[in-house]
């Protein structure tokens, strides 16, 4: 066998062969992690497809409640005049409370969906942390 200065190591492989193997392993490593990340994001998207419409519904219903409550306040101001009738005020308040309850319920369910299924790719992060520890151990053992 040749010495390390001539390009052949003790295991019979050249530096070029070792670097080619390292490159192939690195490519495989990155492809595996990217595939894992994509799969986890697809799972998260399934959750988002449920939670996002609920959140939008909550915003619409709560916005409607706000507008109706504003209308009720306007009705209250109009009712403060002696010749006005209170029926518009009570109508706005009842509808505003109804829409507010529906909006709060939709917001609760959207929040619960987001809490139950976190949007962070946890498995990918855990695997990458494990890879980091493995690489650090390998470097310490080689040095």
Going from N- to C-terminal start, the domains of the chain cover: 48-143
> Which helix (H) or strand (E) segment is 67 a member of?
helix 15-79
What whole-number distance in Å separates Cα of residue 114 and Cα of residue 99?
Answer: 23
Question: Does residue 100 surpass a pLDDT of 50?
Answer: yes
Question: Does residue 32 surpass a pLDDT of 60?
Answer: yes
Given pLDDT bands bounded at 50, 70 and 90, which one contains residue 57?
very high
At residue 1, the pLDDT reads 46
Say if residues 113 and 51 touch (Cβ distance below 8 Å). Answer: yes
Radius of gyration of the chain (CA): 32
> Which of residues 79 and 6 earns the better pLDDT score?
79
Contacts of 38 (CB under 8 A, 6+ apart): none
What whole-number distance in Å separates Cα of residue 117 and Cα of residue 52?
Answer: 13
Both structure tokens of 103: 């909006």
What whole-number distance in Å separates Cα of residue 70 and Cα of residue 142?
Answer: 71
At residue 70, the pLDDT reads 79
Say if residues 123 and 106 touch (Cβ distance below 8 Å). Answer: no
């Amino acid at each position: 066998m040749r010495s390390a200065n001539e390009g052949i190591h003790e295991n019979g492989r050249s530096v070029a062969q070792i670097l080619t193997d390292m490159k192939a392993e690195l490519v495989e490593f990155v492809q595996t992690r990217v595939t894992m990340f994509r799969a986890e994001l697809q799972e998260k998207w399934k959750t988002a497809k449920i939670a996002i419409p609920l959140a939008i519904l909550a915003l619409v219903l709560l916005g409607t409640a706000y507008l109706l409550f504003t209308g009720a306040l306007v009705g209250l101001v109009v009712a403060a005049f002696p010749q006005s009738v209170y029926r518009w005020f009570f109508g706005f308040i009842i509808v505003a409370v109804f829409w507010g309850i529906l909006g709060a319920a939709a917001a609760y369910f959207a929040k619960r969906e987001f809490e139950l299924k976190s949007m962070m790719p946890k498995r990918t992060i855990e695997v990458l942390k494990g890879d980091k520890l493995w690489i650090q151990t390998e470097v310490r053992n080689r040095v």
